[in-house]
Structure 1
Amino acid sequence: MSNSRTKKMFAGAIGNVLEWYDFAVFGFLAPFMSSQFFPSSDATSGLIKTFGVFAAGYLARPIGGMFFGQMGDRLGRKRALQLSVAAMAIPTSLMTILPTHDQVGLLAPILLVLLRLAQGLSVGGEFIGSCTYLVEVAETDRRASSGSWTMFGAVAGILLGSATATLIHMLLTTEQITDWGWRLPFLGGLLIGIVGWRMRRGLEETSDFVAMQSSGKIESRPVIQAVKEMPFRVLQVAGISLSLGVGIYSLFVWMPTYLTHFVKPPIPHALLINSLTMLLMLILMPFFGRLADRIGYKSVLSFGSLALVLTAYPLFRWIDGGTIMATIVSMSAFAVFVGALQATLAVAMAELFPPRLRFSGMALGYNLTLAIFGGTAPLINTWLIAQSGDLTSPAWYIIVIAGVSLLFTLGIRTSAGESETST
């Protein structure tokens, strides 16, 4: 890979490092933050409220997706990527000085929700902008490999968030983390944002967008046109994104909370196990990306969803046994299956739309799924256990979601007759 292409890959992916680092850190530290913003005698109730705030950030994503979709398809992929990374860094950094409930009362959770909404607006365009850019700058036979860098950045962000939370746990006591230590990881968002902005200042526009400009094919209202011309494609993007949205947030963001607050006895070193299994996923993603270029992204994407359908319940049952070995093996298996989804989703979404509607169409479908199902997964999983008393209830939720996603994936047409969507 040339230096120029390597720079494009890193610049395109770095915003996802920031996006997923922030949301991962919030998920990992939610048990400590809950008492600061939602004081309650019932720890589970406070945790549910905190994960509700986590979900609130995703409710703003469809709005952000429409805004950045309009910008990306009209003004260029480069400009959308520059704005999204800057807009994400500011609210993330402000988390470090957010007052608590003891200091300002009800205003504290209100401010917390507002920051999450601001973050949701920016990330509504970040991931899709990265997918669009990396697929469009790739050679025709390496689109899956190139697109996998989007998720490589996302997993790297989650891994960085997990490692940071692990370090905080190692250096501080529980009381220190609860009082002030939870703020420290959000400082990392400012650094990532500055680096991302500098890297993206020198990006070149994609040849697909330049060609649209030259031929005068820029849509004046791409969001509306995507809904009018290709409503089923938008729905397909939403459907194939389900497994990843619920899988990643259930199995790698919420899982440390599950291992330490629900499994009895609690699994020791839960965050470390989580970090190591995500490292495995990171290592596997380039392999799955290259495999998708060889045998087709539809096959690899279907494998990931089908594997979750077949194994989620037995693996959750095994984890519930409370042993470290069962947890490591189960989490490693989940890393393989979700890694297959991570590596292929970008190209699968991008090739459903022609360039003139690509950014907007992807943003609508993907952000709809992440808002309704992805960001709410920790909340729903916690609620399911609280209501049923069954520690395996999240597995059934994952199975249903992955099954629906599999059906949408199998419905993708990848024949030569679909040439408009891939050129």
Structure 2
Amino acid sequence: MSSESGAAPAEPEPAGGEAEVDEAAVRKAVIASAMGNCIEWFDFGVFSAGVMTAIIGEVFFPEDSAGSATLRSFALIAAAFLARPFGGLFFGPMGDKLGRKRVLATTIILMSGATFVIGILPSYAVIGIAAPLVLLAVRLIQGFSTGGEYGGAATMIAEYAPTNKRGFYGSFLELGTLVGYILGAGLVLLMTVVLGDDAMREWGWRIPFLVALPLGVVGLYVRTRIEDTPTFQKMEESGKKAASPLKETLRHWKRRILLLIGIVFLLNIADYTMLTFMPSYLIDYLDYDDTTSQLVTIGVEAVMILFIVPLGALSDRIGRKPLLITAAIGFFLLSWPAFALMQTGDTLGVLGGYAIIGGLLVLMLAVIGSTFPAIFPTNVRYGAFAIGYNISTSLFGGTTAVVVGSLISVTDSNYVPAFYLMLAAAVAFVPILKIPETARVPIDRVGNEDAPELEGSGAK
């Protein structure tokens, strides 16, 4: 049997020792993992807040530079994603060789430290052309460390969680995404209201970036207080670690990586359209003010938080694929109506359109933390996940705001985001159908050659 095959979703026997799962240890691992995602998206919440994108573009670039201040900031967001595949290639296989815990302790401090540095950088008025160049370098460091963060955090939770609760616990990873974004965007909104526009542009914009460092220190402390995953320890004790995880990954798991890239294409277009592009979309194209834009975004995400964990738990009962298929079909059929509602200019219409996109997105967010790690075996899980996820994120996630914003400028059509989402949904539908359903498969049996054939995986 090829190593592309995995384990069947038939009723499994408990994986080694799973009946004796330490729930307290699982909860610690979930918190430690979700904190990194929270810090990553805290940065995005700060950076992509409508008022902040304009301020960053003005502070670090000359006034006569080409393009709007907002587009310049979006370009900086996209630049960070260039480094993510390299971070995945570096940290992912390292996590398969040295363990999840050690690598995640490194990535969280790199991420939070780089975000902190942005808050102390001199402006273009002080150091000239060096300002955007140094900012670009810091963003590349952020992207490099983030490339090793998400795959490891998802792997950590998936390998700690008991089989029958992997969807439930996995959903907390993306709960960290939403909480981090709300904290970042909410802090920017609060400071803008309290300080006023002038003070915010002069010095107040720095404070949200400075907050990232203490968050990272707390996250590092939590991560150093947990053991490596039982699944990794079991593999290490049995002597089944890959001698060269990167070589093993690229030799045997290219097909699964391609399937992952296709699904993450839709995930990223939806995620970064809503959380990065939409706040500025409401301001620049629908003529909403900064405060209303942020309140709408934060409000929709707060509602998403209420549903993400119950949906993760639901996937433990009905499987991950039904939720992913529903999301793909929904994005294909409902993206245009959602943006049509936003064009009405009515606040309820904007909220309704936003809610449609958010509702479809949360169907994916609820299950990706339990789905993606489970399509690879333990000895290459971190690396294969990190490589596939970050290649797709680099190509399609960080570029979403720039691509969509530029196409709107060229076509003069506010429906460009809808068409992009529909395209992504069409692309992702096929790989969603082809990945294995692993909802009831113990994580240490996934992808193993001695496991039964996957039903409906398309792998032979």
TM-score interval, smaller chain: over 0.9
Q: Distance in 1 between matches of 2:424 and 2:61?
A: 30
- Given the alignment of the two structures, is residue 239 of structure 1 paired with residue 256 of structure 2, yes or no? no
1:322 aligns with 2:348: no
1:26 maps onto 2:58 in alignment: no
Q: Distance in 1 between matches of 2:65 and 2:303?
A: 36
Q: Which residue number in structure 2 is paired with residue 335 of structure 1?
A: 358
Residues 1:385 and 2:408 aligned together? yes
- Kindly indicate whether residue 450 of structure 2 is the aligned counterpart of residue 421 of structure 1: no
Q: How far, CA to CA, are the matches of 1:245 and 1:174 in structure 2?
A: 32
1:126 and 1:19 map into 2 onto residues whose CA distance is 9
Provide the TM-score with structure 2 as the length reference: 0.88
How far is 1:173 from its partner? Answer: 2.3
User: For the structure 1 residues 41 and 314, does the alpha-carbon distance in structure 2 shift closer, same or farther, using more than 3 Å as the test?
Assistant: farther
RMSD between aligned alpha carbons? 2.0
- Corresponding residue SS for 1:97: coil
Given candidates 10, 28, 32, the residue that maps to 1:7 is 28
1:348-363 → structure 2 map (5 Å cutoff): 348-363=371-386
The residue number in structure 1 matching 2:132 is 109
Matches within 5 A, 1:367-378: 367-378=390-401
Distance (Å, rounded) in 1 between the aligned partners of 2:126 and 2:352: 44
In the TM superposition, what is the alpha-carbon distance from 1:180 to its structure 2 partner?
2.1
Residue 251 of structure 1 is matched in structure 2 by: 274
Residues 220-239 of structure 1 mapped to structure 2, 5 A cutoff: 220-239=243-262
Counterpart of 1:213, as a letter, is: E
**Which of 89, 97, 105 is equivalent to 2:120?**
97
| Letter paired with 1:117 | L
1:201 aligned to which of 202, 224, 231: 224
- Structure 1 counterpart of 2:145: 122
Higher relative contact order (CA 8 A, sep 6+): 2
Does structure 1 residue 131 correspond to structure 2 residue 181? Answer: no
Is the 1:246–1:401 Cα contact (8 Å) retained in structure 2?
A: yes
List gaps (5 residues or longer) in structure 1.
none
Q: 2-side partners of 1:210 and 1:176: how far apart?
A: 52
| Aligned match of 2:287 | 264
TM-superposed CA distance for 1:176, in Å, is: 2.5
| Other structure's SS at 2:414 match | coil
Q: Taking structure 1 as reference, are residues 208 and 412 closer, same or farther at Cα in structure 2, changes over 3 Å only?
A: same
Question: Is the CA contact (8 Å cut-off) linking 1:265 and 1:322 kept in structure 2?
Answer: no
Task: Give the deviation of 1:384 after TM superposition.
Answer: 1.1
CA positional deviation for 1:249: 1.0
Q: Secondary structure at the match of 2:228?
A: coil
* 1:235-294 CA-partner distances (Å, limit 9, x unpaired): 111111112211111112221111011113658611011111101111111111011111
Is the partner of 1:269 in helix, strand or coil? helix
Task: String of CA shifts for 1:79-123, please: whole Å, max 9, x gaps.
Answer: 111111111111111111111111111111001100000001111
Contact 1:13 1:149 in 2 (8 A): yes
Q: Is the 8 A contact 2:61 2:131 kept in 1?
A: no
Residue in 1 that maps onto 2:310: 287
Instruction: Indicate if the aligned counterparts of 2:111 and 2:146 stay in contact, CA closer than 8 A.
Output: yes
Give the conservation status (yes or no) of the 8 Å contact 2:161–2:169.
yes
Partner AA of 1:75 in structure 2: L
Which letter does structure 2 place at the counterpart of 1:275? I
The reply to whether residue 407 of structure 1 matches residue 433 of structure 2 is no
Does the 8 A contact of 1:39 with 1:46 survive in 2? no
**1:181 shift after superposition:** 2.0
Change (3 A) 1:219 1:2: closer
Structure 2 residue 240 is the aligned partner of structure 1 residue 217: yes
The higher radius of gyration belongs to 2
Shift of 1:52: 0.9
Q: How does 1:297-308 map to 2 (within 5 A)?
A: 297-308=320-331
Task: Find the counterpart in structure 1 of residue 13 from structure 2.
Answer: none
User: Is this contact kept in 2: 1:267–1:322, CA < 8 A?
Assistant: no
Query: Matched residues in 1 for 2:191 and 2:233: separation?
Result: 46
| Distance in 2 (alpha carbons) for counterparts of 1:330 and 1:336 | 10
Query: What is the rounded CA distance, in whole Å, between the counterparts of 2:64 and 2:332 in structure 1?
Result: 37
Q: Name the residue aligned to 2:367.
A: 344
| Aligned equivalent of 2:11 | none
SS of residue paired to 1:421: coil
Shift in Å, 1:406: 1.9
Scaled by the length of structure 1, the TM-score of the pair is 0.95
- How far 1:394 moved relative to its partner? 1.6
Query: Partner of 1:99: helix, strand, or coil?
Result: coil
Instruction: Verify the 8 A CA contact 2:337 2:353 in the aligned structure 1.
Output: no
The question of whether the paired residues in 1 share the 8 Å contact of 2:96 and 2:383 is answered with yes
DSSP 3-state at the match of 1:124: helix
Instruction: State whether structure 2 residue 419 is matched by structure 1 residue 396.
Output: yes
Q: Tell me, yes or no, if structure 1 residue 309 matches structure 2 residue 332.
A: yes
Q: CA deviation at 1:172?
A: 2.6
Q: CA deviation at 1:152?
A: 1.1
> Which has the larger displacement, 218-227 or 38-47?
38-47
In the TM superposition, residue 389 of structure 1 has moved relative to its aligned partner by 0.9
- Residue aligning to 1:165: 188
> Contact 2:376–2:384 at 8 Å: present in 1 too?
yes
Cα deviation digits, residues 21-77 of structure 1 (max 9, x gap): 112211111122111122345885332222111111111011111111122100101
Equivalent position to 1:54, from 56, 59, 77: 77
- Distance in 1 (CA, whole Å) between partners of 2:242 and 2:350 is 50
Kindly provide the amino acid, as one letter, of the partner of residue 129 in structure 1. Answer: G
Measured after TM superposition, the shift of residue 304 of structure 1 is 1.5
**Stretch deviating more after TM superposition (225-234 or 302-311):** 302-311
Query: CA 1:356/1:391 → structure 2, altered by over 3 Å: closer, same or farther?
Result: same
Partner of 2:177: 154
Q: Are the aligned partners of 1:260 and 1:268 in contact in 2 as well (CA < 8 Å)? A: no
Q: Deviations over 1:341-387 (max 9, x none)?
A: 10111222111111001001000100001101001111111111111
SS in 2 for 1:366: helix
- Identity across matched positions, percent: 31
SS at match of 2:241: coil
Task: Name the one with the larger helix percent.
Answer: 1
Q: What is the SS of the residue equivalent to 1:413?
A: coil
- State whether residues 376 and 446 of structure 2, in contact with CA within 8 Å, keep that contact through their aligned partners in structure 1: yes
